[in-house]
Amino acid sequence: MMSFLQDTEIRPFRIQISQSELDDLRNRLARTRWPDELPDAGWDYGVPLGYLKELAEFWRTSYNWRQHEQRLNGYPQYTTTIDGANVHFLHIRSPEQDAMPLILSHGWPGSIVEFLDLIGPLADPRSHGGDPADAFHLVIPSIPGFGFSGPTREKGWDTRRIARAWAELMKRLGYGQYGAHGGDWGSSISRIVAEVDREHVCGVHVNYLHTVLPNDADLSGLSKEDQERLERAQRYRSAPAGYMRLQSTRPQTLSYALTDSPVGQLAWIAEKFYEWTDPACRVDADRMLTNVMFYWLTRTAGSSARLYYESAKTKGKIGCPVPMGVAVFPYDLALPVRSLAEREYDIVHWTEFEHGGHFAAMEVPDLLVQDLRAFFRRFRSGKLE
């Protein structure tokens, strides 16, 4: 059972990375031992050598962490202890007093960096060409074990435990009714938040959702496109990628390589930003490297991977007892089938976009902002339209 009675203090926080840490990073990058590569291998065997060398050299010679550190420190940041774990979060209060509280949850290999381009338009739409009635108070936490939440110190931090911590965080911040949004692991966490805090969560919006064909269902009732989506999702689940197998089974062994080698950490994450994004909306190197820095500087490659190990042991289907909105981006890992999603959830909002992928908040922030506003607008009056 979770205990929240020992330490409920909310402490102001600023990111302050020592210069020696940044110098050490550059020195390690300069001393990289590069592997060989087969000719004309492309991406078939993993991240191409030339691609990674160019990215690593940009990281070493041109990337400016201090610039991004300053931007991050321009937002109110805090830490608090929940269930024995440190939780780091951004808390941006909207200038609109009647704004809706909204908690945004990232996944792997993401971080709170994913949401930076959403903050202004969501919290202060009046200043970004939007309707002030669509404003949100934003809570953007780093998952325990990720980034400046730091490594977890005990077993058991799966998605359900994280969701209970999020419910406690919103309670500590004094929020009654609130909404939840997430992609990747954040999608699961957001739905479970609604399960564990049904009394206070008005709605859940996700931009990543797996749908499964029930055992008694017939594929013939689905369109060709939906069948293709389902088969793609089933292939992904039945033959998990190497990163998922490793992080679900041997996160500690993996952690030695990623914590010691910045190029190893870079390759592990950069591969996903290449494979899971829309080629027309690639995340720029500067923003991706800032995301990588959240893993490198905090030494959380291993502890973030443990989320896969812990959650692999968790049994049971994830429900969602509140209305759901789904944003579908075509270059995501797997695309949901609406008719199947509607069997499991109360889907009241569904949008299919022409651009964007797994990291929608970074690739197409304007589209995601638009969809979040549209979905949560129905709850502003306190009841479903």
Catalytic residue among 117, 134, 184, 278: 184
Closest of 190, 183, 155, 122 to residue 332, by C-alpha = 183
Q: Confirm whether 308 is a catalytic residue.
A: yes
Helix axes 49-61, 262-275, angle to 10 degrees: 120
Closest of 210, 248, 205 to residue 370, by C-alpha = 205
Dist CA 206 CA 31 (whole Å): 42
For residues 165 and 307, the answer to whether their CB atoms sit within 8 Å is no
What CA dihedral angle connects 231, 236, 238 and 242, to 10 degrees?
Answer: 160
Catalytic residue among 63, 78, 308, 331: 308
Closest of 263, 11, 240, 255 to residue 145, by C-alpha = 255
CA 189 to chain centre: 10
Dist CA 380 CA 308 (whole Å): 35
Catalytic residue among 68, 181, 205, 358: 358
Buried b (16+ CB within 10 A) or exposed e, 23-50: eebeeebeebeeeeeeeeeeeeeebebe
Q: H helices then E strands: how many in the chain?
A: 15, 9
- In Å, what is the CA distance from 60 to each residue of 52, 121, 271? 12, 32, 19
Dist CA 162 CA 371 (whole Å): 25
Helix axes 242-249, 251-260, angle to 10 degrees: 110
Closest of 167, 102, 94, 99 to residue 140, by C-alpha = 102
> Beta partners for 204?
180, 324
Residues designated catalytic: 184, 308, 358
